[in-house]
Amino acid sequence: MNTPSDTSDDVDFEQIVESALTRRRFLQRTFVLGSIAALSSQVPVSIARSAPSRFPFIGVPSNVRDDITLPKGYSHQVVVRWGDPLWSDGMQFDHATRGTAFSQSRALGDNVDGMELFVVNDRMLLVVNNEYTNRTIIWGNRRNGKFVSDDDVLKGKMAHGISIVELKQTGRQWEIIKDSPYNRRITPDTEMMLTGPAAGHPLLQTAADPGGMLCKGTWNNCGNGRTPWGTYLACEENFNGYFSATTGEYAIPEELIRYGVRTKDRGYGWGTIDTRFLVDRHPNEPNRAGYVVEIDPSEPDSTPKKRTALGRFKHENAELVVNGDGRVVVYMGDDERGEFLYRYVSHDAYKPGEPTDHLLDNGRLYAARFYENGTGEWLLLSPKTTGLASAAEVCIHTRQAASAVGATTMDRPEWVAAHPHAAEIYCALTNNKNRGVKPNAGGDETPVGGPNPRARNRYGQIVRWRPMDSDHTSSAFTWDLYVLAGNPLVYSDDRAGSDNISVGNMFNSPDGIRFDQTGLLWIQTDGQYNNQNEYEGHGNNQMLVGDPVTGEIRRFMVGPRECEITGMCFSPDRRTIFVGIQHPGERGGSHWPEGGGRVPRSTVIAIRRDDGDIMG
């Protein structure tokens, strides 16, 4: 990251407000919802709403079945499941033992999340994150779902990271190609390079790596991104929950407390087999996680790179757009209650065919501030604006940097999605029970208002913004809310949701969002599935499709019990959507996909239209 002059992107604020309001008046005629109007009874009935629906399917009802529900005319198949071997020396998944560390290291990881399909030398490579494991499932053969051996712990560790697997399609069917030279498992033990402003900084130096340039592995990779130069971005989210201390008396440094590091881990046990995860022994290790990792799937021996310039926080995904002038802009959310929304802008322009290695190392990082009047601005994070000692420290203590500039505390920013044909970006704000109740972990207040308009927000919302003059590098933007999720069956106040929510399409906790090439927004949920009280009628987690122009939202799919729907990508011909079904049966209530009392398994499915037409 550069340490730029802090004034070069300064903006005339009055001019922003005036042009934003002008644009807003226009937008309110065009779109159904306005951020403030959505909450009042004065929402203008849009002409656009009477436009014919662009959805080629009839929405499916919510339900609590232990299966995939799709509209008439659509079918799905299982492509690959947790524990399916990627090489011939692996073993078929054993439902009694759930495998060993070795079998897991040769198989698809657990809890599939963000994913992309790459075409390399006419071969189709699926790259998919394996975010975490559910201990009662992976160690379900042990008493109370707790590990009893080092091999159990290592099996859990090997179920994390990223899986790369070649796919082939025969007729309508997809299958994996075992032993493809491109198949790869990236795990918490894979060697990686630290790059960008923080690489080599004393805060990243450890006994094993005194130079602070090489680290081992990636874990808790949630959402993802892809670059136009053919690489995959894996985003490290809840990296903190794997660290522990040899004694509960150890005083965790304040900087790590902000990121949730504690003396106890979340039950994974990695510190029992790998001292890297003992924070009292190696206090800088947690500073080497929480980044965006760039991976080249076309080179199975390539070393993944942790791009520190994109900041350190609980990264959800990394939505990359190439600006009109060629500069690379990456939008990113930090998924924690009251944390922030970020933007990275590269210093140099992307030029196809020329080297790209510097593009995610050399740039500026910003955090978003939203104003009540529908405008907002990107606040530069630099030593001068934040008071931190160096550009490296901004990239390591990014949450503290964003707190210092007064960025807006958000309702858990999950995936960000950029419209493929317009300068318009969406972010799912999944929920936040602490909104208006208590500050974030850094002590920043979480007032009700702006894009976070409901106290104790149970249902979540999707905010969208449009950069000034369609320039993604501009400091100024206008924003509104695309949808406030809710439950109109139970409530008639703002908990009913915005006007485009009905008993027929209601949901809670939007999380994964992606646009298709037709400009429709696919929305995946990771919410409460108890189907009771304030969630009555919501059913299992689901996937919906939204039309950004009319505001219409329709339910496309319902997942099996106790799963989260997360991660999606399209085949090159756009006739298949690959979708991630994560942790079915996380509370013991599912046997999907195999049924018959078998172990539930996270799975990538392929969805197609029965007539073979394009999916989006």
> Rounded to whole angstroms, how far apart are CA atoms 285 and 483?
40
Name the CA radius of gyration of the chain, rounded: 23
| Among residues 274, 377, 480, 511, the one that binds Ca ion under rule CB under 5 A | 511
What does the per-residue mask of binding to Ca ion show for 429-458, with x meaning CB under 5 A? -x----------------------------
Work out how close the CB of 19 gets to ligand FEO at its nearest, in angstroms, rounded to a whole number.
34
224 or 475: CB nearest Ca ion: 224
Q: By CB under 6 A, tell whether 552 contacts ligand FEO.
A: no
Q: How many residues of this chain interact with Ca ion, rule: CB under 5 A?
A: 4
Q: Which does 110 bind (CB under 5 to 8 A by kind): ligand FEO, Ca ion, none?
A: none
> Rounded to whole angstroms, how far apart are CA atoms 232 and 235?
10
By CB under 5 A, what part of segment 136-195 binds Ca ion? none
SS (HEC) of 331-344: EEEECCECCCEEEE
Owner of token pair 């990636």: 218
Work out how close the CB of 58 gets to Ca ion at its nearest, in angstroms, rounded to a whole number.
28
> Rounded to whole angstroms, how far apart are CA atoms 83 and 99?
8
Q: By CB under 6 A, tell whether 235 contacts ligand FEO.
A: no
**3-state DSSP assignment of residue 566:** strand
What does the per-residue mask of binding to ligand FEO show for 79-98, with x meaning CB under 6 A? --------------------
By CB under 5 A, what part of segment 389-418 binds Ca ion? 414
| Among residues 414, 424, 444, 499, the one that binds ligand FEO under rule CB under 6 A | 414
Q: By CB under 6 A, tell whether 107 contacts ligand FEO.
A: no
Stretch that binds Ca ion, among 389-397, 423-431, 454-462, 589-597 (CB under 5 A): 423-431
The helix (run of H) or strand (run of E) holding residue 176 is strand 173-176
Tokens matching residue 30: 């065009």
Work out how close the CB of 165 gets to ligand FEO at its nearest, in angstroms, rounded to a whole number.
21
Stretch that binds Ca ion, among 261-269, 345-353, 424-432, 578-586 (CB under 5 A): 424-432
Q: How many residues of this chain interact with ligand FEO, rule: CB under 6 A?
A: 6
Q: Which does 189 bind (CB under 5 to 8 A by kind): ligand FEO, Ca ion, none?
A: none
311 or 333: CB nearest Ca ion: 333
46 or 582: CB nearest ligand FEO: 582
Cα angle: 312, vertex 316, 321; to 5 degrees? 90
> Rounded to whole angstroms, how far apart are CA atoms 418 and 368?
16
| Among residues 131, 480, 562, 586, the one that binds ligand FEO under rule CB under 6 A | 131
β-pairing verdict for 576-582 and 564-570: antiparallel
Contact 524, 565 (CB under 8 A): yes
199 or 543: CB nearest Ca ion: 543
Greatest alpha-carbon pair distance for the chain in Å reads: 66
Residue 47 makes CB contacts below 8 A (sequence gap 6+) with none
Q: By CB under 5 A, tell whether 285 contacts Ca ion.
A: no
Amino acid (one-letter) located at 354:
E
Tokens matching residue 393: 């420290």
In DSSP terms, 224 is beta-bridged to: 234
By CB under 6 A, what part of segment 314-333 binds ligand FEO? 316
Cα angle: 132, vertex 206, 274; to 5 degrees? 40
Q: By CB under 6 A, tell whether 222 contacts ligand FEO.
A: yes
In DSSP terms, 598 is beta-bridged to: none
The helix (run of H) or strand (run of E) holding residue 19 is helix 13-30
Q: Which does 131 bind (CB under 5 to 8 A by kind): Ca ion, ligand FEO, none?
A: ligand FEO
By CB under 5 A, what part of segment 522-551 binds Ca ion? 526
Q: By CB under 6 A, tell whether 237 contacts ligand FEO.
A: yes
Tokens matching residue 547: 């039309």
Q: Which does 487 bind (CB under 5 to 8 A by kind): ligand FEO, Ca ion, none?
A: none
Q: By CB under 6 A, tell whether 335 contacts ligand FEO.
A: yes
C-alpha torsion sign, points 30, 31, 33, 35:
negative
> Rounded to whole angstroms, how far apart are CA atoms 543 and 579?
9
> Which residues contact ligand FEO by CB under 6 A?
131, 222, 237, 316, 335, 414
Contact residues: Ca ion, CB under 5 A = 414, 430, 511, 526
